[in-house]
Structure 1
């Protein structure tokens, strides 16, 4: 939220409350305050465009103007009488209502990456001609896989990447977030530049595949993945069409969820296992494309395809493990808070493994999650690590909490946890992941426990 976003609504609401409790004082201030408020609204509109959150503010300013401005003693007396009754209550109620929309940030501010590199980005919309799309009944449709690459660069350009696909034609909601709340998300600074070359610090860069949570678009992890990219990894964030809330396909159409999650628990488990197979195939298809110079644009020849890891959050974490279990080209797997499905818990994973978890007491992990994670760890063949980040909830690894203003985030955290906040949670997660990935992806092995100990209240360590 910018300064003008805070000052204009705050002044309008404060003046309205003064009008409700001290009408005489408000009438004396009105000739000064009302023009300033109108000018402030105009400046906000010109500099930042229209915000739907400003509509109640406009109503508050209008109501306060009607009840405080007067040109004759008679009208002043009549308006003062109105203010002594329902009018004063109406203005006060309007002022209180006008506060509520500001719980949602008009333009969320994502944290700046903390690594040594700037971040470049490019989007690839590929079609797997070997797989028909089973989620749609349209004839001749093949599986689309959409990938956004976030990579280290030494340059900045004048153009930055738009936060989310399909702005201006989004469905009614995106992962339970009403799309009208996103009307100004085109102004979000992703801290990533377009049309810039990958850094020349090394000839080839290690690759991290990233899979989002069930139904979540890749955009909701921008803070997490850009920070990881700034540390020296090419992060390929993947959208899984017809499951993701919104995906722009290669032909420009928007794909929205087509599946229907079963009510029955057993059927739900089977459904998720089937979806897991689809997702794992998406990741393996992405790996297939990395060596094709005509597929990866500015990154051609600069990707170290001998050093690839898979990372994911929630269902994406299960996807990362599944892909690593199936594809020997994937050298390590990171599961962030993801429940495993199918036969995955009983697999003898041959790759180094990291489990990052939110606070068990705040997220309330299911018995399935706990039992299946324990089983996978017991079967590990290459060792691994497990860390729990205290005061982080399941959503703290995403950008979603940043859609709320700080007071609203605080209030929500009192009910569902996550008081650590998304910025601190993501920084801790990226520190641990970067240290864990160094060895499997060709770098010098790092001190993973030291990376975890750099942050307070993180519990865990190596697992057998």
Structure 2
């Protein structure tokens, strides 16, 4: 099965653009990924660079010449050769069925389609995926017209409070898209009549993880949540917990492999001591300390706040960006010289699909039986403190 992709630009007439003083209403750019049975010749390939149509060279400018974790430069020829199974604007499948919907919000600065490995797996398993481009905080956003919108100045140095404003804006973007799904399902010629609006799941990475959590708190139309190494330091649930408020939406908290405070601080110091000094070094260490402590506390609060099904797991040897396409773009074969990126992406995709199949589509046991079986020893169950607990199948990290 081929994956089709269409891009839409939506405008929320009820909100002003807050990140940039344009005087315009808030715009949201969305990629729609859907199944297609269009007959595409075997020699016709999809390429990653096509995700940046009609300004593909912006992708090359962004990554060519950059160095990966092994210190190797990313070659332009390699970037142009990365293959996908996705094709722009091909016809949607003619099957007379409704497709459950998954909405994705990326990490800060990341392109909306930066989990193409996961998106393609979801579509191949019968989902339609909407990815959200949060304009002016993504490194660059390409509109269908060919206009390129760059991120605002100093967003990489945003304070903790400013990032919380971004989370709020993203939450509103998500809620607006959910409302717009009804319009798209009735009027958009590509996907008209194809969306099962009673089955809406949501997935977020990093800052996007905080955004999807906040959206799920407010909108009961969201039936299942997957958070990929979310920014737990922005969770403040103390008051809600004290007031007896809880979330009953099934929730998967999928973390990177290393979540130990001492280990993470050691890595941060080693990474920065050869790159910065003086006040900049101090600033980064203090910032990382605050983030890690916030993540530890945020995980404890989240665990208590979720009162229905919750699964807290981690993927051994993985890092924050393992959950994205960045290791592929940077031509990086392994994480920590141990975990194959290809293997990691297969596992993450399998876990994500199984979770949505069970808790969004009602396929009982699809997720739980897989986790409990211990068939994937790289997956560890963790408790609210991030400590590893035994899996029923006997696999222990």
**Residue 216 of structure 1: aligned partner:** 110
**Residue 134 of structure 1: aligned partner:** 18
Structure 2 Cα separation of the partners of residues 176 and 339 of structure 1: 29
- 2:340 pairs with 1:421: yes
Of 284, 292, 308 in structure 2, the residue corresponding to residue 382 of structure 1 is 308
Give unmatched runs, 5+ long, in structure 1.
1-116
**Residue 375 of structure 2: aligned partner:** 454
**Residue 36 of structure 2: aligned partner:** 153
Alpha carbons of structure 1 residues 183 and 328: separation in structure 2 relative to 1, 3 Å: farther
Q: Is the 8 A contact 2:357 2:367 kept in 1?
A: no
Report the count of equivalent residues: 337
- 2:254 pairs with 1:366: no
The structural deviation recorded for 1:287 is: 1.0
- 2:216 pairs with 1:324: yes
Moved more, 359-368 or 334-343: 359-368
- 2:175 pairs with 1:284: yes
Alpha carbons of structure 1 residues 231 and 170: separation in structure 2 relative to 1, 3 Å: closer
**Residue 163 of structure 1: aligned partner:** 51
The structural deviation recorded for 1:275 is: 0.5
The structural deviation recorded for 1:376 is: 0.9
**Residue 279 of structure 2: aligned partner:** none
| Higher gyration radius (CA) | 1
- Following superposition of structure 1 onto structure 2, how do residues 72-111 of structure 1 map, counting pairs within 5 Å? none
Q: Is the 8 A contact 1:402 1:422 kept in 2?
A: yes
Structure 1 Cα separation of the partners of residues 257 and 318 of structure 2: 5
**Residue 328 of structure 2: aligned partner:** 402
Whose strand fraction is larger, Structure 1's or Structure 2's?
2
Alpha carbons of structure 1 residues 320 and 183: separation in structure 2 relative to 1, 3 Å: farther
Of 125, 128, 144 in structure 1, the residue corresponding to residue 9 of structure 2 is 125
SS of residue paired to 2:247: coil
TM-score (ref. length: structure 1): 0.65
Alpha carbons of structure 1 residues 308 and 135: separation in structure 2 relative to 1, 3 Å: same
Structure 2 Cα separation of the partners of residues 126 and 175 of structure 1: 31
Alpha carbons of structure 1 residues 157 and 287: separation in structure 2 relative to 1, 3 Å: farther
- 2:66 pairs with 1:144: no
**Residue 255 of structure 2: aligned partner:** 357
Give unmatched runs, 5+ long, in structure 2.
68-72, 241-245, 265-290, 385-397
Structure 2 Cα separation of the partners of residues 201 and 431 of structure 1: 24
The structural deviation recorded for 1:298 is: 1.2
Structure 1 Cα separation of the partners of residues 354 and 58 of structure 2: 40
Moved more, 371-380 or 446-455: 446-455
- 2:392 pairs with 1:392: no
Q: Is the 8 A contact 2:170 2:211 kept in 1?
A: yes
Structure 2 Cα separation of the partners of residues 323 and 211 of structure 1: 11
The structure, 1 or 2, with the larger RCO (C-alpha pairs under 8 Å, 6+ apart) is 2
Alpha carbons of structure 1 residues 296 and 349: separation in structure 2 relative to 1, 3 Å: farther
**Residue 253 of structure 1: aligned partner:** 147
Moved more, 219-228 or 175-184: 175-184
Moved more, 148-157 or 122-131: 148-157
Alpha carbons of structure 1 residues 429 and 318: separation in structure 2 relative to 1, 3 Å: same
SS of residue paired to 2:182: coil
- 2:349 pairs with 1:435: no
Question: What root-mean-square deviation, in Å, do the aligned CA atoms of Structure 1 and Structure 2 show?
Answer: 3.1
- How big is each residue's C-alpha offset from its partner over 1:240-259, in whole Å with a ceiling of 9 and x where there is no partner? 11001111236542111115
Alpha carbons of structure 1 residues 344 and 302: separation in structure 2 relative to 1, 3 Å: farther
Which aligned runs of 4 or more in structure 1 are off by greater than 6 angstroms? none
- How big is each residue's C-alpha offset from its partner over 1:405-462, in whole Å with a ceiling of 9 and x where there is no partner? 46xx45xx4xxx2631322112111212222112332332234243333322211179
The structural deviation recorded for 1:274 is: 0.7
Structure 2 Cα separation of the partners of residues 446 and 200 of structure 1: 30
